[in-house]
Structure 1
Amino acid sequence: MTYTKNLFKHIILLLVFTCYSGWNHAEEFRDSTESEIREAQTLIENQAFDKAFRIFKKLAQRGDSHAEYNLGVMYFKGLGIPQNYEQALIWYQKAAFRKITEAKVQLAWMYAKGLGVRQDNQQAMSYYREAAIDGNIIAQSALAEMYASVQDDTKNAQQAFYWHQSAAQKGNAFSQYKLGQIYRTGDGTEINLLQAAYWFERAANQSNADAQFHLGMQYASGKGVIQNHQTAAFWLKKAADQGSEAAKIQLGMMAYAGIGMEKNLTEAFLVNQGEAQQGNPVAQYNLGLMYANGEGIQKNLESAIYWYEQSAKQGNTGAQYNLALLLMREDTINRSPARGIYWLEQAASSGNQLAQFNLGAIYANGEDTAQNYLLAYQWFALAEKNGHPTAGKFKEKIAKKLSKKELAIVSSTDHSPQKM
Structure 2
Amino acid sequence: MNIPTVIKDPDIPLHSITRAFVSIVFSFAIACFAGDSFADDFTDAVRSFKNQQYRQALSLFEEGASKQDPRSEYALGLLYQNGVIVKKDTRHGLELITKAANHGFARAQNYLGVLYFEGNGVEQNPETAFKWYGKAAVQNLPDAEYNLGVMYAQGKGTRQDFSEAIKWLRKAAMHQLPEAQYGLGVMYSRGLGVVKNDEQSAYWFGKAARQGYLKAENKMGVLYTEGTGVEKNDAKAVHWFTRAAEKGYDKAQYNLGIMYESGKGTKADEARAIDWFRKAAAQGNSNAQKKLKTLHGRS
> TM-score with structure 2 length normalisation?
0.82
1:190-201 to 2 correspondences below 5 Å: 190-201=87-98
> In the aligned structure 2, how far is the partner of 1:381 from the partner of 1:199?
48
Match of 2:122 among 216, 225, 231: 225
Equivalent position of 2:43 in the other structure: 142
Equivalent position of 1:165 in the other structure: 62
> In the aligned structure 2, how far is the partner of 1:362 from the partner of 1:290?
27
Post-superposition offset of 1:157: 3.5
> In the aligned structure 1, how far is the partner of 2:106 from the partner of 2:65?
16
User: Taking structure 1 as reference, are residues 377 and 10 closer, same or farther at Cα in structure 2, changes over 3 Å only?
Assistant: same
- RMSD (CA atoms): 2.6
Equivalent position of 1:272 in the other structure: 169
> In the aligned structure 2, how far is the partner of 1:348 from the partner of 1:334?
22
Equivalent position of 1:340 in the other structure: 237
SS at match of 1:328: helix
> In the aligned structure 2, how far is the partner of 1:384 from the partner of 1:320?
20
User: Taking structure 1 as reference, are residues 237 and 400 closer, same or farther at Cα in structure 2, changes over 3 Å only?
Assistant: same
Q: Deviations over 1:327-358 (max 9, x none)?
A: 21166562122111111111111111111112
> In the aligned structure 2, how far is the partner of 1:194 from the partner of 1:162?
20
Percent identical pairs in the alignment equals 30
Say which one has the larger Rg.
Answer: 1
Q: Deviations over 1:21-56 (max 9, x none)?
A: xxxxxxxxxxxxxxxxxxxxxxxxxxxxxxxxxxxx
Mean Cα displacement is larger for which, 180-189 or 251-260? 180-189
1:244 paired with 2:141, answer: yes
AA at the equivalent of 2:43: A
AA at the equivalent of 2:65: A
Post-superposition offset of 1:240: 1.2
Post-superposition offset of 1:162: 3.8
> In the aligned structure 1, how far is the partner of 2:100 from the partner of 2:133?
14
Match of 1:364 among 261, 284, 287: 261
Post-superposition offset of 1:247: 0.6
CA contact (8 A) 2:145 2:171 kept: no
Q: Deviations over 1:194-225 (max 9, x none)?
A: 33322111011111111111111111111111
The aligned length equals 273
Structure with the greater relative contact order (CA < 8 A, sep ≥ 6): 1 or 2? Answer: 2
Equivalent position of 1:292 in the other structure: 189
User: Taking structure 1 as reference, are residues 166 and 331 closer, same or farther at Cα in structure 2, changes over 3 Å only?
Assistant: closer
Post-superposition offset of 1:8: 4.2
> In the aligned structure 1, how far is the partner of 2:35 from the partner of 2:73?
13
Post-superposition offset of 1:380: 1.0
CA contact (8 A) 1:220 1:228 kept: yes
Equivalent position of 1:7 in the other structure: 32
SS at match of 2:226: coil
> In the aligned structure 2, how far is the partner of 1:342 from the partner of 1:192?
47
Post-superposition offset of 1:280: 2.5
CA contact (8 A) 2:202 2:230 kept: no
Post-superposition offset of 1:299: 1.4
Q: Deviations over 1:360-396 (max 9, x none)?
A: 2232233454321111111011112333235244335
Structure 1: tracts of 5 or more residues without a match: 16-108, 110-137, 403-420
Equivalent position of 1:382 in the other structure: 279
Structure 2: tracts of 5 or more residues without a match: 1-25
Mean Cα displacement is larger for which, 305-314 or 270-279? 270-279
Mean Cα displacement is larger for which, 258-267 or 361-370? 361-370
Match of 1:373 among 263, 270, 275: 270
> In the aligned structure 1, how far is the partner of 2:76 from the partner of 2:249?
35
> In the aligned structure 2, how far is the partner of 1:222 from the partner of 1:231?
11
> In the aligned structure 1, how far is the partner of 2:54 from the partner of 2:286?
41
> TM-score with structure 1 length normalisation?
0.59
